[in-house]
Every structure is written in C-alpha cells, then in structure tokens.
Amino acid sequence: MASAPDFSQGLKLNQMTGSKAETTENLLKDIGNLRGKVILITGGASGLGKAFCLEAGKHGAKLVIGDLNEEGARSVADQIKKEGGEAVSGRCDVTDFKSQVQLFNLARKTYKHIDVCIPCAGLGEVDQLENELKKGADGEYEEPRMLQLKVNLIGVMYSVQLGLSHLKQNPSKDKAIVLIASIAGYMGLPMGSIYCAAKHGVMGLFKSLPPQAAVENIRVSVIAPFFVDTPILTYATKILLKDLPLAKIEDVVSSLLCTASSPSAAGRSYIIDPSGVYSSPWNATVEETNNVYHAIALRAEAILGVMGTFRSLDRALSPIGGIKAGLVAAIAIPAVMYFR
C-alpha cells in the first residue's frame, strides 16, 4: 500500500537530472532582444498565450496571433496596440494546414519575416479513450474523434514545419521555435491518455529537432507547465486538483519570454511547477517521488475504480435499463474526492 503523498517537499522537480532553479531575473536577462522581433503564436486568444502576447508586446515584440477564436485574438491584438505595441491577428484552425499557411502568410505580408514561432494552441477535454466506442446506425464502431491529438500534436507539427520553412528564409542568427509541452509530456496522466500521448509527442519533437534546426541558426526550447488555472482546465480536472497547489501563470510567461529572447534557452526545457521554474537539458527525466503527481495518480485510480464498479453494476442491470454513465461520473468523482 502506497504511503500518503508528502506535499511539504514540493514537487521535487529540482531532482530532475541536470536541472537548475531559475529566478525571474535570470529568465528575463535577455528580454531586450525582443524589441522588433516578429513572433507568430497560435492559441494567443486565451490563457497562457494571451498573457505572453500582452507581456511580449510591452517589450517591443511584433505579434502575429492566430486562434480559432478570431474575436478573442483580435481583442488581444487591439489591447497590445492600445498600449503602444504592434500586433495583427487572424482566424486559424491549427488542425487545418491551409489555415496555418494563411497565418504564416499574414505574418510575412505584414512584417516581411518571422523570428519566433510558438505553437501554443491547445485543447483539454474529457478523455474519449476512457469511454466505450459508440456504434453507428450500421452497428459498427464509429471512428473516435481524437481532436485532442489533432490540436495538441498534429497542429503543433504543422506549425513547426511551416516555422522551419519561414525561419530559414530569415538571415538573422537569433531565431527560435518554442514548443509547449506539459508535465504530461514527462509522465503519465491517468484519465488523460490522449492529451498525454500528444504532449509526449511534443517532447519527442523537442528531443529530436535542436541539432537539425541549429544548422539554420534556429534554437528550439520547450516549456512544460504543471496545471495552471486557465480555461483549458475541465470541470473534472478542477475536481481532480482540489486543494493541490497550481503553477503560476507569471512563471509560465517569464519562461516563454526567456525562450523567445535568450540564446541560453537553446535545447533546454523549462518546467514550471508551483514551487517555481526549473530548466533542464533535453534528456532530463523526472525521478519517482512521493509528491503531488503521485497524489493525482492515486486520485485518478480511485475514481476509475469506483467508475468500474458502477459499470459492472450497469451491465448487470442492463436488462431493466441500466444506469446512466453521466450519473455514475457525477456520483463517483465527487464521492472519491470527498473521502480522499
């Protein structure tokens, strides 16, 4: 039987091989490099992307903001301009390659070149992989939608391919691709299999790309935040995280500003947890510790255990109509959280 998680010791990410704690001052030491830099970012209408755009705009960067939420992206661009900065925005669906081509074209048409590419658009939703497949009218299983994989991995790969092609045409020696993984790129996330698979894919990109991109004077970095309070967190995730400390949005923004501005960020991963920011080399691994990640895994296992019991009951009761899956989740999740 596993012992209770010890939160007093923080998340212990500083136990990652070769990692070092980063101060805000150190993260922002090259912030002056941002002046005049053209930064293309997807998912800039909300959360982490929005917070970064507003801050980068204040430091003189020129932002090109693409998002499915066209109105939200325009409002961020308007706010940057109101504060004296430069920005343009456009509707972009990252899962549609042509839509991304148009966003990159908008950047080139407006600012001639691109210096930094940040594929930040992301999607979190209740994991379809946990549910039984639906059957169509023909009685066969329907194709699962896998939208999280398309947004969080395929969309990122489209941005990286376009980013490499456009950045290569810029003769500057100070160019960057900044990937957004997650702590789910380093470890498993029960009940979040598709999101986790996508973020592991992003980490695979990060571990492979730096030498190849360096040939074109493009540095590649990744940021990997623990949970941050933004609209991406589903109701179920918020329940799962009850009473656990979250990472701070200002630490994520400082890490993004660092990766966009500093040559020292080349080939490094910036892990943001509630106790601060730790940067690590590409091959760092998380040591198994009895910490908050362990707590989340235990909670998820308990919820899945209760849901499994209800599912067996549902099958047994199916001759008389069974019980609704939604009702099961509505009872099981709060019940487990209350007793843990």
Enumerate the β-bridge partners of residue 277: 22, 272
Per-residue binder mask for ligand NAD (CB under 6 A), 230-249, x = binder? xxxx----------------
Catalytic: which of 195, 270, 278, 293? 195
Angle between helices 47-58 and 70-82 (to 10 degrees): 20
**68 makes contact with ligand NAD (CB under 6 A):** yes
**48 makes contact with ligand NAD (CB under 6 A):** yes
Enumerate the β-bridge partners of residue 89: 65
Region of residue 267 (left: phi > 0; alpha: psi -120 to 50; beta: else): left
Q: Which of residues 131-160 bind ligand NAD (CB under 6 A)?
A: 151-152
Q: Which is nearer to ligand NAD, 152 or 269 (CB)?
A: 152
Could you tell me the smallest distance in angstroms from the CB atom of residue 305 to ligand NAD?
Answer: 25
Contacts of 233 (CB under 8 A, 6+ apart): 124, 227, 241
Angle between helices 155-168 and 193-214 (to 10 degrees): 10
Could you tell me the smallest distance in angstroms from the CB atom of residue 66 to ligand NAD?
Answer: 7
Could you tell me the smallest distance in angstroms from the CB atom of residue 333 to ligand NAD?
Answer: 19
E strand intervals along the chain: 20-22, 38-42, 62-67, 86-91, 116-119, 175-180, 218-225, 268-273, 276-281
**114 makes contact with ligand NAD (CB under 6 A):** no
**42 makes contact with ligand NAD (CB under 6 A):** yes
CB-CB contact of 193 with 149 (8 Å): no
Could you tell me the smallest distance in angstroms from the CB atom of residue 93 to ligand NAD?
Answer: 5
C-alpha to C-alpha distances, 91 to 41, 64, 166, nearest whole angstrom: 12, 11, 19
Enumerate the β-bridge partners of residue 278: 21, 271
Considering only 69, 128, 193, 217, the residue that binds ligand NAD (CB under 6 A) is 69
Q: Which is nearer to ligand NAD, 31 or 180 (CB)?
A: 180
* 235 flagged as catalytic: no
**95 makes contact with ligand NAD (CB under 6 A):** yes
Q: Which is nearer to ligand NAD, 258 or 328 (CB)?
A: 258
**191 makes contact with ligand NAD (CB under 6 A):** no
Helix (H, G, I), strand (E, B) or coil at 86: strand
Considering only 121, 218, 271, 296, the residue that binds ligand NAD (CB under 6 A) is 121
CA 316/CA 313 separation, integer angstroms: 5
**53 makes contact with ligand NAD (CB under 6 A):** no
**122 makes contact with ligand NAD (CB under 6 A):** yes
Contacts of 308 (CB under 8 A, 6+ apart): none
State the Cα torsion 115-168-255-267 to the nearest 10°.
-160
Could you tell me the smallest distance in angstroms from the CB atom of residue 218 to ligand NAD?
Answer: 20
From 4-12, 15-23, 25-33, 229-237, span contacting ligand NAD (CB under 6 A): 229-237
Could you tell me the smallest distance in angstroms from the CB atom of residue 103 to ligand NAD?
Answer: 9
How many residues of this chain bind ligand NAD (CB under 6 A)?
Answer: 30
Contacts of 277 (CB under 8 A, 6+ apart): 21, 22, 27, 251, 254, 255, 270, 271
Q: Which is nearer to ligand NAD, 44 or 170 (CB)?
A: 44
Considering only 65, 77, 88, 92, the residue that binds ligand NAD (CB under 6 A) is 92
Could you tell me the smallest distance in angstroms from the CB atom of residue 327 to ligand NAD?
Answer: 28
Contact footprint for ligand NAD (CB under 6 A): 42-43, 45-49, 67-69, 72, 92-95, 120-123, 151-152, 180, 182, 225, 227-228, 230-233
Supply the residues annotated as catalytic: 195
